[in-house]
Amino acid sequence: MKKTTNRWIALVAMSLGVFMGLLDVTVVNVALPSMAVDFKTTFSNLQWVLNAYTLMYAVSLLIVSKLGDMFGRKKIFIMSMILFTAASVVNGLAPNLLVLDIGRAIQAIGGSGMMSLSMALVASNFEGRERGTALGILGSVIGFSTAIGPLVGGFLVESFGWPSIFFVNLPVGIISVYLVIRNVKETPAYGAGESIDFMGMFLSAIGLFSGIYGLIQKEQHMHWAWTDMRIMGWLVASVLILALFVFVELKAKAPMMNLTLLTNRHFVGVVILAFSLGAGIFALAAYQTSLMQNYMGYSAFSTGVHQLPMSLWSLVLGPFTGVLGYKFGKKWLIAFGFTVSALGLLIFRQVTTTDFTYMQLLPLLALTGLGNAIINPMINTAAMDNINPQEIGMASGLLNVFRQIGITVGVVILGLSQTNAYESSLSTGFSGSSIPKAAATGIHQSLVEAGAFSGHAIAWGQQLVKTPYAAKVQQMVVTAFDKGMIAVVTTSLVLMVIAILAALFLLKETKSVDQKPQK
């Protein structure tokens, strides 16, 4: 009985770590306006508070996963939690933006270890139906923490200031470390006697860095062509470096990654689904938040409250997804989850108008939230099927790398869809308007430069509202944003269809996890 109790306490401890790590990804978005005031800087300069975390998180995932496989996942997980918690305190005390950026990069290394090794430790500490339930709960924590970020962040920032989003990690981190030490069972050190594949780690890190950085450049400069060397150069470098990584791994005696993982059709299907989830649902959250704050007038905290129909599904369904996967099969349940999400996107696409009422948004929030609550836990469970015990950490790392890359790619492609539709609508509106040409040209240009997210601030700004054509410009901006949102959800809908096909044709029909826990 005590061993059983310890396992579930261990799950609570690891879930706290994952919740803490992922929450800090989303809550920082809410805190940026307060940071801009305190540091007396611009939003452009604050981008690296986000990007430093994104880059280091993706770069570190595979490395910490391999170190966990080699030297014991519990050890590396605890070290990751301590690093994350210590960096959080540094961030809260940061006297300037440079210290905060560096602290965020260090924090991301800890966050990547907590994220990837939590899944591996759950798979190592549970078996059979219990493993499916535990992985389902952990997956639900992942979905819930991502969705609840604006609510928690809004409350903390509005009540205690932006440093509180980092300081809150200190007590949570201390409790989590204590519970992990007491209750989590260590895994074997599969790398005992092996040399560390430093070249593989180095190539994987700079290859992922180049690719993610190139995508970030595109995200921040939507008007730069893909062929611009400031984007294309990084992406080509990424492809070449990762190709060299594959060559090195094939020749290495003790490679960082067993590349046969990527010849397993089922596992390839899982990582494609993780990518689609990141690109089609997680990346969509930024656009939903922009709609609610910039065009519907909600505060950061109110936005979080109104997003509860999306986030609560993960909390409610967590304990049951493992049982459902065991009964119906993960393949069919994942396909169903993506179908539910697609339905939410389709409804929003059909009913949305320039009025942007909450009731129009509610089906999108509820159905994508329900879909995510089903998909995320099932993907985590499916990724562990038929994986050798010594490779569970790496499998978890790959899953999280593709989910993170999916989010980054998704933000870019959804942004391009929105930008193209937004600018096309503005061009149509201004070409047929009665606004004097000189004024129309200047306003049009400023709205294009501001982009869909900030166009509202221009249209309702003090300079424009005093003019006789303010109402016309405001209507054009709202219409353009509406067209942009329809383009965004259409792109997400395409990604959902691809995911449904991948689930049906690539995943194996597995109803249980048969691997035994490691001795």
Residue 125 above 80 pLDDT? no
Same domain as 239, residue 177: no
**129-168: burial string, b at 16+ Cβ within 10 Å, e else:** ebbbbbbbbbbbbbbbbbbbbbbbbbbbbeeeebbbbbbb
Q: pLDDT category, 4, cuts 50, 70, 90?
A: low
Q: How far apart are CA 18 and CA 39, in angstroms?
A: 29
* pLDDT given for residue 341 in this prediction: 95
Same domain as 224, residue 164: no
Q: How far apart are CA 460 and CA 265, in angstroms?
A: 52
Mean pLDDT computed over every residue of the chain:
85
User: What residue numbers bound the domain in which 439 lies?
Assistant: 421-484
**Model pLDDT for residues 146-182, shown as the tens digit of each residue:** 767 777 877 888 888 889 989 989 998 999 899 889 8
3-state helix, strand, coil in the chain (%, to 5): 85, 0, 15
Neighbours of 474 (CB within 10 A): 17
User: What's the distance, CA 243 to chain centroid?
Assistant: 25
Instruction: Give the helix ranges, DSSP H, for 384-469.
Output: 392-431, 437-459, 462-465
Same domain as 100, residue 233: no
Total tally of structural domains belonging to the chain = 3
Angle at alpha carbon of residue 47, lines to 41 and 52, rounded to 5°:
125
Give the torsion sign (CA, 212, 238, 385, 509): positive
Is residue 287 domain-resident? no
**205-237: burial string, b at 16+ Cβ within 10 Å, e else:** bbbbbbbbbbbbbbbeeeeeeeeeeebbebbeb
DSSP designation for 163: T
Angle at alpha carbon of residue 272, lines to 271 and 274, rounded to 5°:
60
**Single-letter residue type at 395:** A
Same domain as 230, residue 121: no
253, 280, 299 — which closes off a domain?
253
Same domain as 153, residue 34: yes
Same domain as 244, residue 147: no
**Model pLDDT for residues 264-313, shown as the tens digit of each residue:** 899 999 999 999 999 999 889 888 888 887 788 887 778 878 888 887 88
- For 25, residues 6+ apart whose C-beta sits below 8 A from its C-beta are 53, 57, 111, 146, 149
Q: How far apart are CA 519 and CA 515, in angstroms?
A: 12
